[in-house]
Every structure is written in structure tokens, then in C-alpha cells.
Amino acid sequence: MSQPIETLLSALRLVPVVRLEELPSASGLADALMAGGLPLAEITLRTPVALSAIEQLANREDILVGAGTVLNRTQAADCIQAGARFVVSPGLDPELVSYCQSRDIPVFPGVSSASEIQAAYNLGLRQVKFFPAEAAGGTASLKALAAPFHQMQFIPTGGISATNLLDYLDLDCTLAVGGSWMVKPALYESGNFSQVTELTRAAVQMAKRQDD
């Protein structure tokens, strides 16, 4: 996938957050996301197979793969080595951010306070993850936090699903929404990925801009 992450994010406005339990599921999951119209996956470093899955999907031309739950510079280096094209963190670690910037890899650290947003801004970032979106006060918090930072765009993630997706996408400060609701392992336990495709397609449809 030659398109940069920024282009895909502003076009699709969705980031599927994947917790992959078994490596053999990686390609089926990628196919299911593609079939649903979402050529993008954030593979979280929460399982032993995550790095291998990133490596496997990075070899495909049709999908853009990034790494999530990246906690430090060492993990970021491993993910980039495996082929991750973007890096997502639950929190803001300046060393990790600077490292990704030095490698020219887009990095989206998690923020949930004005101080963290300000720190991210001063690190040169203009796009960050708002995490954990629902637990941190949802759209009301995001709106209030975004107001003084009009240069910043947010990827709210955490507790979002088809039921509240549009509330976030309606905000001008939202670049894209992240979530696992369309890629939960329970949806494809038996190796049947049709539910993933169905939920992905529905999410992609909802995330389409009205004027498209």
C-alpha cells in the first residue's frame, strides 16, 4: 500500500484496532477488512504474535499496517523493522515520539488532558489519539479540550462502536475514529470472517462524508 497513513485517515476516518491472538488469522482478517472497504489495520502489541503479524501484513500491497500499544522506543524500532508504517501509543512518551519522527514514521500518541495535548503540540505533532475516549469524558471532553488547540486533530479511541461513532465524527477536530468493535477476535473465532466484513462495511458507510 503506497498511500500514506494521513491520506487514508482523512479519506476513511476509521482505524480498526486489532488484537490478534493467532498468526494464521492475520491474512483472513486483512482480507475481511479489505472486503469491507477498509485497507488499513493497527495491530496492537498485546499478543505474542503481533510483530509477526505486522511483518506478514506489511508484505501485502493492498493494506496499510501499523503498530498499536507501542510503549517505548525499543518497541517502536521493532515494529518499524517489521514493516509498520505508523505507530500508535496509549500515552505520550517524548522519547518514543522523537524516535519515530527521526525515522519519518507517523506517530499518534494517546492524550487525554490539556497538558498532554500541549506537550504533543510542542513535540511538533498535530495529530494525536484521544484515549480512552469514552472513559475520559467522550465528545464533551474532546470538544472542550480541542477548543484551545485549533491546530490539532484527534483520533478518539476507546469505547467507540457503531452506536456512538457519528457523535465523534461530527466534531470538526476529529480526524478519524479508532476502535475494535468490527475486529474483535470473538467475531472470527471459527475462521469465518464474514461478520468482520459486515461490521466493517457498515462502519465505512457511516464514516463516509455526506458530500462524498
State the catalytic residue, choosing from 21, 22, 42, 55.
Answer: 42
Taking residue 24's Cβ as centre, other Cβ atoms within 10 Å add up to 11
Taking residue 153's Cβ as centre, other Cβ atoms within 10 Å add up to 21
Query: Of residues 9, 30, 38, 44, which one binds ligand 3PG by CB under 6 A?
Result: 44
180 belongs to the binding site for ligand 3PG (CB under 6 A): yes
State the catalytic residue, choosing from 6, 55, 95, 129.
Answer: 129
157 belongs to the binding site for ligand 3PG (CB under 6 A): yes
Strand order in the sheet with 40-44: 107-108, 87-88, 64-68, 40-44, 14-18, 177-179
Smallest gap from residue 177 Cβ to ligand 3PG (A): 9
68 belongs to the binding site for ligand 3PG (CB under 6 A): yes
Smallest gap from residue 121 Cβ to ligand 3PG (A): 21
Task: Collect all residues with Cβ–Cβ distance below 8 Å to 100 and sequence separation of at least 6.
Answer: 76, 80, 87, 106, 107
Per-residue contact string for residues 126-145; x = within reach of ligand 3PG by CB under 6 A? -----x--------------
179 belongs to the binding site for ligand 3PG (CB under 6 A): yes
Residue from 104, 51, 98 nearest 78 by CA: 51
Active site residue 42: yes
Query: Of residues 13, 178, 182, 196, which one binds ligand 3PG by CB under 6 A?
Result: 178
Residue from 198, 161, 153, 169 nearest 32 by CA: 198
Scan for cell 483520533, then name that residue.
155
71: cell is 510503549
Q: Which amino acid is at 15?
A: V
Return the number of the residue (145 or 182) whose C-beta is nearest ligand 3PG. Answer: 182
165 belongs to the binding site for ligand 3PG (CB under 6 A): no
Active site residue 208: no
Return the number of the residue (2 or 188) whose C-beta is nearest ligand 3PG. Answer: 188
89 belongs to the binding site for ligand 3PG (CB under 6 A): no
Distance separating alpha carbons of residues 129 and 166, to the nearest angstrom: 17
94: cell is 517524548
Positions marked active-site: 42, 129
Interface ranges with ligand 3PG (CB under 6 A): 17, 44, 68-69, 131, 157-160, 178-181
